[in-house]
Amino acid sequence: MVKYDAHGKDRNSDGAERNAADPVPRKSAGRGRPRSADRRQVVSCRLPAEELRAFDALCAQLGAKSRSDGVRSVVRMASGFLEFSREDSARLEEIRYELAKIGTNVNQIALAANRGRAQMVRAQWASVGELRRSLPVVARVLNQIIAERRRQGVALFLKFAEGQEGARRG
């Protein structure tokens, strides 16, 4: 319920002043810990036993070390951020390794052709050149994805949150 004081300021139901850009009303100074946009906030909820077992199973599948990590992963996934299970992360590492081996092989083919050990026609040279240009780009993107997974998406999530805050302000 929105209330207005004698000066026309918007107040929430417990009398604390409300900031129009802040969707979460601030607690009054006398009760609990004040909320601050620059501090981490604790979020808690109660779950029935069945839902808690399902959540714990999801945490295990995602490789979360704690329920807090699990909650953060679920929030990031719901917000559209990359989150991978341990198995998916291991597969990405395997793909990165295989991609590096392919790049090495392409470079060896180009070197052999340049030294006259392998005859290639113009179309083959074009294909090798395209591979030599595109493989590093793919490897760089894959490395960024893996690095983001290692950081647990925190930096990207903070950037997203800042963008959302900026969008709310105007």
pLDDT confidence of 47, banded at 50, 70, 90? very high
- Quick one: which H or E segment has residue 10? strand 10-11
Q: Is the pLDDT of residue 31 over 50?
A: yes
User: What is the pTM for the complete model shown?
Assistant: 0.45
Specify the pLDDT at position 2: 47
Per-residue pLDDT reduced to its tens digit, 91-145: 888 999 999 999 999 889 888 888 888 888 888 888 888 988 999 988 888 888 7
Structure tokens at 18: 């409300």
Q: Please give the Cα distance from 82 to 74 (Å, whole number).
A: 10
- 10 Å CB burial of residue 66 (0-12, 13-18, 19+) is exposed
